[in-house]
Amino acid sequence: MKGKRFRKRLKRFKNVRKYELQDKAFQYLGIFCTFFGIVVLGALLIDVLMAGLKRLDWDFLTSLPSRKASEAGIYTAWIGTLWIMILTAIIALPMGIGAGLYLEEYGKKNKLANFIEINIANLAGVPSIIYGLLGLELFARAMHLGDSILTGALTLALLILPIIIVSTREALKAVPYSIREASYGIGATKWQTIWHQVLPASMSGIITGAILAISRAIGETAPLVLIGSLSYISFAPTSPLDPFSVLPIQIFNWISRPQPEFAENAAAAIIILLGITFLMNGIAVYFRYKAQKKIKW
């Protein structure tokens, strides 16, 4: 009897030891994969910085595109990127946040709501080129907007709309229900509870999701190529109905040329685009931190 108990304890000890070794192995594998990704990303960044920093100057930012690499600049591209970013935010943010708010706070939980939720989640994973085809047919041709900034902004707004809706709903879900109950307990209406309690408490998550979605939009190329965004224009856009170019398309245009000088221009434009992306991510982190400091649950 004692021998049988001893064998069971020994077997249990061996199983625990095996699981500990597996846990250690998975931990080291995760550390290796993380550092491998960081090293590869660092090597790419160093390569881009070494190639592009020497090309960065004020003339590069204020010059128009040119067939001569030494005279080419990104003025029209970064102005177009700024237009696209602002218009996309104006179109997508109210619609996305409003839809997420309705689905989470007002919408009834039934089969139709489940169907809508599943489709929104699926739309967030649809390849961006599909949105480009939709924008080409709906906005450029059916609505006769052509290859204008407004067409690009509407297309990219459709692209990031599911992301904003999902992030808004997740931020609202993270607010404890006790806050709503306390607000109802002192006589507040549903809208007063949402406006004065739920939205301020969830604003950090909503802002973070929105800024990250817009960061994705300004880096997209495929949808803008499909709707006819130009690789070369000789003027900066001044209205939403003007044709335009953006930094990703300008980079693609330069990197496809055989001259090494254009590759340096592309590297410099990549640095500018990375700087815009990092700046927006930093703003998202800042607003999240400030909002979390104000809200104490």
pLDDT tens-digit profile of 221-232?
A: 878 887 866 666
pLDDT at 3 over 60: no
**72 plus 212 within the same structural domain:** yes
State the Cα–Cα distance between residues 125 and 158, nearest whole angstrom. 12
Last residue of a domain, one of 55, 72, 100: 55
Return the higher-pLDDT residue of 236 and 193: 193
**179 plus 51 within the same structural domain:** no
At 96 the pLDDT is: 92
Contact between 87 and 150 under an 8 Å Cβ cutoff? The reply is yes
**167 plus 132 within the same structural domain:** yes
Last residue of a domain, one of 55, 74, 94: 55
The whole model's pTM is what? 0.82
**32 plus 78 within the same structural domain:** no
Contact between 227 and 152 under an 8 Å Cβ cutoff? The reply is yes
At 293 the pLDDT is: 66
Helices 128-135 and 149-173 meet at what angle, rounded to 10? 130
State the Cα–Cα distance between residues 79 and 93, nearest whole angstrom. 21
**175 plus 188 within the same structural domain:** yes
How many Å is the Cα radius of gyration of the chain? 25
Lowest mean pLDDT among 28-37, 161-170, 282-291: 282-291
Through-space distance between the first and last CA atoms of the chain, rounded to whole angstroms: 56
For residue 121, what pLDDT band results from cuts at 50, 70 and 90?
confident
What are 154's two structure tokens?
A: 């509407």
Domain that holds residue 40: 2-55
For residue 220, what pLDDT band results from cuts at 50, 70 and 90?
confident
Return the higher-pLDDT residue of 283 and 152: 152
For the residues 189-215, what does the mean pLDDT come to? 86
Last residue of a domain, one of 10, 26, 55: 55
Return the higher-pLDDT residue of 293 and 138: 138
**30 plus 153 within the same structural domain:** no
Return the higher-pLDDT residue of 284 and 174: 174
The strand pairing partners of 243, in sequence order, are 148
**197 plus 255 within the same structural domain:** yes
State the Cα–Cα distance between residues 254 and 266, nearest whole angstrom. 6
User: How many domains is the chain partitioned into structurally?
Assistant: 2
**131 plus 226 within the same structural domain:** yes
At 283 the pLDDT is: 80
**254 plus 151 within the same structural domain:** yes
pLDDT at 154 over 90: yes
For the residues 19-28, what does the mean pLDDT come to? 82
**183 plus 286 within the same structural domain:** yes
CA angle (49 as vertex; 53, 82 as ends), nearest 5? 75
What are 236's two structure tokens?
A: 């900066």
At 234 the pLDDT is: 74
**73 plus 201 within the same structural domain:** yes
Q: What is the mean pLDDT of the chain?
A: 84
pLDDT at 209 over 60: yes
pLDDT at 92 over 90: yes
**49 plus 82 within the same structural domain:** no
